[in-house]
């Protein structure tokens, strides 16, 4: 009889990956970053545990989108009050806060539960190529096109 493997805390080895977003397509980049944060690239992946690694995304301001998304994609947030719906186009958000675009794309690919809230804390996004990672040896990851 085969048994289901469940990862234990001592089995989980964490790494940090650096992903360069320069010239990458937003959705494809976010999907691969979400996979690394979740831990699905590891053989010890367990759906209800945090087995993933940390990711640092640099050059977020140089991300690309395809089609007419730059003009048509809208980010909405609602305060809960009457008239409290705020809409921002992708073009405006990329100009003001490029790190937020990648952060939201990855966050929305993670589960909406306490596990997802823990996973998103291991994502660091920077608009340029300077990041605050010191003392750790990161692995530079090439994103598939």
pLDDT for the residue numbered 138? 65
The per-residue pLDDT for range 16-73, each reduced to its tens digit, is: 998 989 999 999 999 999 999 999 999 999 999 999 999 999 999 999 999 999 999 9
Structural domains for the chain = 14-141 (3.90.1180.10)
Hey, what's the torsion of the CAs at 52, 22, 60, 140, to 10 degrees? Answer: 30
The structure's pTM equals 0.90
Q: How many CA within 13 A on the CB side of residue 83?
A: 0
The per-residue pLDDT for range 78-136, each reduced to its tens digit, is: 999 999 999 999 999 999 999 999 999 999 999 999 999 999 999 999 999 888 776 66
């Amino acid at each position: 009889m085969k048994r289901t493997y469940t990862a234990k805390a001592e089995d989980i080895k964490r790494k940090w990956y650096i992903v360069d977003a320069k010239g990458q397509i937003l959705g494809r980049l976010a999907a691969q970053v979400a996979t690394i944060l979740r831990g699905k690239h590891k053989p010890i992946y367990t759906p209800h545990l945090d087995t993933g690694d940390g990711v640092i995304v640099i050059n977020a301001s140089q991300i690309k989108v395809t089609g007419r998304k730059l003009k048509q994609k809208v980010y909405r947030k609602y305060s809960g009050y009457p008239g409290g719906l705020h809409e921002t186009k992708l073009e405006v958000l990329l100009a003001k806060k490029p790190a937020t675009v990648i952060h939201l794309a990855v966050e929305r690919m993670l589960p909406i539960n306490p596990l997802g809230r823990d996973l998103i804390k291991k994502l660091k996004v920077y608009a340029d190529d300077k990041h605050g990672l010191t003392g750790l040896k990161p692995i530079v990851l090439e994103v598939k096109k």
